[in-house]
Amino acid sequence: MLERSLVFQLISAFIVSFSFAILTNSPSKSLLYCGINGMCGWFVNILLLRFGFTQILSVFFAALAINVLSEIFARFLKNPVPIFLIPGLIPLVPGAGMYYTMTSLLKSQFDLAIKTGMQTLLIAGSIAVAIMLVTSFNWVFSALNKKVELK
Amino acid sequence: MMNSKQLIEIALLAGEIMLTNGAETHRVEDTMVRICSKGKLKLAESFVIPTVIVATVADENNNLVTVSKRIKNRTIDLNKISLVNQFSRDFQTHEYTYEQAIEILNNIKNKKGYSSYLLPFTAALVCCFSTILFGGNLKDAISAFLVGFVTQSILNFMNSRNFSYFISYIIGGATTALVAIITVNLNIGVHLDKIIIGSVMIMTPGVAITNAIRDTIAGDLLSGVARGIEAFLIAVFIATGAGIALSLFR
């Protein structure tokens, strides 16, 4: 199957992040890096899924990788971190979960709606926790560096 | 040498550009204080939430100046944030006059983004390839391309007429579902669910979610909660729109 091959998936993730960066009017120099960021995140996600991790954990580690890469790109290209972070995270957004929650609500299947809704919230939460971890570690390190300079 | 009034005017303009285009509030506060630190001031404070900027400076003679600015309509243009960031760095190293600084900032403010003819095509690309990521086949991708093109054209039109975001996201979600149903009935696409899931991606509140998390960690709890609610509501509006279209026309 063409759609299932790894290379095809990675190219798709690259194009999704690249085009989403254009939709948010990112600077034209950063577009390529946004695409690379999205591609790496999707690679981590799909690799962990194939090794049998749960969806929540693989999204967590993918978001972690994307955030670390964004911090590196931001230092390297002297641009704010969110410019690289936002397009990179787009392929991981649990759109499917939101859709199936909505359709099961339409059919009044409330037990199914709660189950898929909780799973969607947990995936979104794991993205949030990954961003929190990297960002707060980064701020701790920069605070430590400043103190060393003052001495 | 600029006086405190001129400095705070420059800082306010810079902060306004950043906040209206989707920067985090702590970044806006930092930038404003950094611009004010250029002069010989006793005090420079700024308080920013997603709808208001307030800033206060005091010079050597304890003359206090406070300005506030209400932010009404917000858009997303990350290029402008990057440019103002660069400007605040240059402002510390170069010797700009007041007129030069205001002119640079006004140029940034009036800068045009990518052409509005390009946006529907890029949105269509996002839809097309995210449908593939979520497991659709090539036929689904083609129909998602059409869906993205139509939805982004309608969103562009509503943005140019300053529709409230409540209405534009509901109409956006409904358009997505409607065009997807039409393409499936015309036998262009196969899986209705995968087409809709992929196409909704262009409306995801990515900026709001990321900023909500980063604001919360930075300690700006008020802004974090406000943006978190905004992101959640946008998701609910899109689902409502798509749900209305699905239950009426299917």
Tell me the pLDDT tens digit for each residue of B2-26: 788 888 889 999 999 999 998 989 8
> Per residue in A41-90, pLDDT tens?
999 999 999 898 999 999 999 999 999 999 999 988 888 999 999 999 99
- Same structural domain for residues B14 and B34? yes
- Supply the ipTM of this predicted assembly: 0.90
Last residue of a domain, one of B109, B138, B158: B109
Mean pLDDT of A98-105: 91
- Nearest-Cα distance to chain B for A122, in Å, is 14
Both B102 and B137 in one domain: the answer is no
Residues B46 and B166 in one domain: no
The answer on B235 and B139 residing in a single domain is yes
Give yes or no: residues B137 and B233 share one domain. yes
Are B72 and B174 contained in the same domain?
no
| Closest residue in chain B to residue A10, using alpha carbons only | B133
Q: How many angstroms separate the CA atoms of A103 and A113, rounded? A: 8
Report d(CA A87, CA B113) in Å as an integer.
17
The residue from B81, B109, B137 where one domain ends is: B109
Separation in Å, CA B37 to CA A43, A124, B81: 44, 39, 20
Number of domains in chain B: 2
Same domain assignment for residues B41 and B143: no
- What residues of chain B lie within 8 A of the CB of A102, using their CB? 239, 242-243
For residue range B93-149, what is the model confidence (pLDDT) as tens digits? Answer: 888 888 888 999 999 999 888 888 889 999 999 999 999 888 888 888 999 999 999
Mean of per-residue pLDDT scores for chain A: 88
Phi–psi pair at B205, nearest 5 degrees = -80, 60
Residues of A in contact with B196 (CB under 8 A): 99
- Asked whether residue B96 falls in the same domain as residue B123, the answer is no
Q: Which residues of A touch B211 (CB under 8 A)?
A: 82
Which positions 14-33 of A are in contact with B (Cβ < 8 Å)?
15-16, 19-20, 22-27, 30
Alpha-carbon span A34 to A75, nearest angstrom: 14
Whether B79 sits inside 8 A of A25 (CB atoms) is: yes
Contact between residue A86 and residue A108 where contact means Cβ atoms under 8 Å apart: no
Q: Say yes or no: B104 and B125 in one domain.
A: no
Among residues B179, B20, B30, the alpha carbon closest in space to that of B92 is found at B30
Instruction: Show which of residues 102-131 on chain A sit within 8 Å of chain B, judged by CB atoms.
Output: 102-103, 105-106, 124, 127-128, 131
Cα distances (Å, whole numbers) of residue A28 to B72, B114, B193: 28, 9, 33
Residue range of the domain that includes B8:
4-109
Neighbours of B3 (CB within 10 A): 13
Please report the sign of the dihedral spanned by the C-alpha atoms of residue A133, residue B211, residue B198, residue B196. Answer: positive
Q: What is the dihedral of CA B217, B79, B115, B171, to 10 degrees?
A: 10
State the pLDDT confidence band at B249, using cuts at 50, 70 and 90.
Answer: confident
Rounded to whole angstroms, how far apart are CA atoms A86 and A82?
A: 6
Q: How far is residue B213's CA from residue A103's CA, in Å, rounded to a whole number?
A: 28
How many helices (H) and strands (E) chain B has is answered by 10, 3
- B123 and B105 assigned to the same domain: no
Q: Do B122 and B244 fall within a single domain?
A: yes
Q: What are phi and psi of B183, to 5 degrees?
A: -65, -35
Same domain flag for B166 and B134: yes
**pLDDT above 70 for A1:** no
In 3D space, the residue among A82, A109, A128 whose CA is nearest the CA of residue B78 turns out to be A82
Look at A131 and B210 and tell me if their CB atoms are within 8 Å.
yes
Angle at B112 between CA B109 and CA B116, to 5 degrees: 145
Question: Of B109, B126, B149, which residue constitutes the final position of a domain?
Answer: B109
Distance from CA of B76 to the nearest CA of A (A): 6
Residue A150: is its pLDDT beyond 50?
A: no
Burial of residue B25 (CB within 10 Å: 0-12, 13-18, 19+) is buried
